[in-house]
Amino acid sequence: MRSKMTMKLVLLFVMSLAILVSCSKDNISNADKAAVQGAMKAFVDAKIMKDNNVYKIEDKNGAFDYLHDEVKWEGQVFVSCADIKVGSDVYDIDYYVVKEKDKYIVIKELLHKINKKEINRTLWEQ
């Protein structure tokens, strides 16, 4: 009798663990990834349009290069990034995106790296 109860508890634990792993930050649906990247691209396009076709980073003028493919889930926000070229330097900009109702909105822009060197300085936050 006791071994059946132990087996049930082990099975319950394994099932719970499987559910937890399937809901981890690495398991983002393709629809969410596409929507997050769409929100990022719209943010970048609006910023470039507002600043006369340049991507302003503090006092520097940059050019949008590309969006990274990876999207992460961190707490209550999605995070992904883009590369911006400023002369020969590569600026890695992180965008924090939330889903409000059926809309994805960029709420923070962070200068993550310059030429792969960590900076982590907020550029803009809602």
Each residue of 56-98: pLDDT tens digit? 999 999 999 999 999 999 999 999 999 999 999 999 999 999 9
Asked, for residue 8, whether it belongs to a domain, the answer is no
In the predicted model, what is the mean pLDDT of the chain? 86
Confidence of residue 27 (pLDDT cuts 50, 70, 90): confident
The whole-model pTM stands at 0.78
> Distance (Å, rounded) from C-alpha 119 to C-alpha 110?
9
Burial of 37 from C-beta contacts in 10 A (0-12 / 13-18 / 19+): buried
- Is 54 contained in some domain? yes
* Nearest alpha-carbon partner for 14 in 22, 26, 3: 22
Total domain count, the chain: 1
Say if 5 falls within a structural domain: no
